[in-house]
Chains A and B, each alone.
Chain A
Amino acid sequence: MREDASPGTESAERSGELTIARQAVRAYAQAAGDFNPIHLDDDAARRFGLPGIIAHGMLVMGILGRLLLEGLPDARLETFSARFRAVVQPDRPLRWLARAEERDGQGWERWQLELRAADSTTLLVAAKATVRRG
């Protein structure tokens, strides 16, 4: 996995690029115990109309959760949800964005997260999180 986010002071919007390597998909299958062949075998994936193996939705969501929390060291998630809109293929450059939608001054924040192909505007995954700070 390769990614880079702009470090520095906390802001209401953070973004970066990442690539999910084929090996990362394999490692996630092992760690999560999800061996659905559409994540491991190109031919099996093609039989289901896919372009080749795809990343697990939960791998992608897990990475988005990490990217959010890495920027919010004192945060605790209250809810975290995602819609998987299109398949995420390994070894493709991706762009993520996290934006604070609402801050109420009492420690609650709502964040919206998006994952897109780096070279396109097509939304692959849309996620939301409610966090409690401090």
Chain B
Amino acid sequence: MAVVDASRLGERSAPRLYRITAEAVAEFAAALGWPRDSFEAAAEVPPTFAVSLTPHPIPGLQLPPAGVIHGEQRFEYGEPLRVGDTVSVTAWVAEAKTRRSSRGSTTFVTVVNEVRKPDQRLAVRAQAVLVVNEGGEEATAP
């Protein structure tokens, strides 16, 4: 199974709208060990909160149900994201590289996720490198 359809690199997912609720932020923050009341009212959301805003299906990307390793993650921050904001999330595959060996193949997929405010100003650009191992006798992981 091909992980990435190379002809669809850069093709954006349909925008997915979210309203950032106090409950979602509190649960996410608490799971990282922040005090429950850290992000009330006008406070910005935790820096990695954007990962909970999953996009609609990404064109040309078919990840296996399990065994995907997260290799790298990068965030660039623009406009502050706060409780009560409505945002639009789009994602695309920016790059895919496959290395083949006798044990199967390893694909490094770079996925970009953009979170924008209603006026289209960028709030967060999140870039992940996912590592997908396929084939061979057994799946491998670091």
Interface residues of B in 100-139 (CB under 8 A from A): 138-139
B139 and A36 contact, CB distance less than 8 A: no
Residues B48 and A79 in contact, CB atoms below 8 Å apart: no
Cβ of B41 under 8 Å from chain A: no
Q: Mark B77-114, 1 if CB is under 8 A from A, else 0.
A: 10010000000000000000000000000000000000
**Is there an interface contact between A59 and B32, defined as CB atoms closer than 8 Å?**
yes
B-contacting 9-mer, from A80-88, A97-105, A106-114:
A80-88
CB contacts under 8 Å to B, within A74-98, are 76-87
Q: State how many residues of chain B have any CB contact under 8 Å with chain A.
A: 33
Number of interchain pairs (Cβ within 8 Å) = 102
Q: Name the one of B24, B46, B76, B138 contacting A62, with C-beta atoms under 8 angstroms.
A: B46
**A32-88 interface (Cβ within 8 A of B):** 32-34, 36-38, 44, 47-50, 56-59, 61-63, 65-66, 69, 76-87
Contact of A63 among B32, B67, B69 (CB under 8 A): B32
Binary CB contact string for chain B from 48 to 71 against chain A (1 if under 8 A, 0 otherwise): 100110100000000000111111
Closest to A83 in B: B72
With A49-B140, A87-B142 as given contacts, are A28 and B66 in contact (CB-CB < 8 Å)?
A: no
Q: Is the interface of B mostly helix, strand, loop or mixed?
A: mixed
CA distance A49 to B48 in the complex (A): 27
Whether the pair B67, A38 counts as a contact (CB closer than 8 A) is: yes
Cβ contact within 8 Å between B33 and A48? no
Known: A28-B32, A36-B66, A66-B34. A50 touches B75 (CB 8 A): no
Q: Which residue of B lies closest to A54 (CB)?
A: B141
Tell me, in angstroms, the Cα distance from A79 to B126 when the chains sit together: 10
Nearest chain A CB to B136 CB, angstrom units: 11
Q: A123 at the A/B interface (Cβ < 8 Å)?
A: no
- Verify if B27 is at the interface (C-beta below 8 Å from A): yes
**In contact, B77 and A79 (Cβ under 8 angstroms):** yes
Using A44-B66, A49-B141, A83-B71 as known contacts, say yes or no to A65 and B47 having CB atoms under 8 A apart: yes
Q: Are B72 and A81 within 8 A (Cβ)?
A: yes
Given A56-B70, A79-B76, 11 extra CB contacts under 8 A: A1-B33, A31-B52, A32-B31, A33-B54, A57-B70, A76-B44, A76-B77, A77-B47, A77-B75, A80-B75, A81-B75
Residues of B in contact with A (beta carbons under 8 Å apart): 24, 27-28, 30-34, 44, 46-48, 51-52, 54, 66-77, 80, 138-142
Binding site for B on A (CB under 8 A): 1, 3, 24, 27-28, 30-34, 36-38, 44, 47-50, 56-59, 61-63, 65-66, 69, 76-87
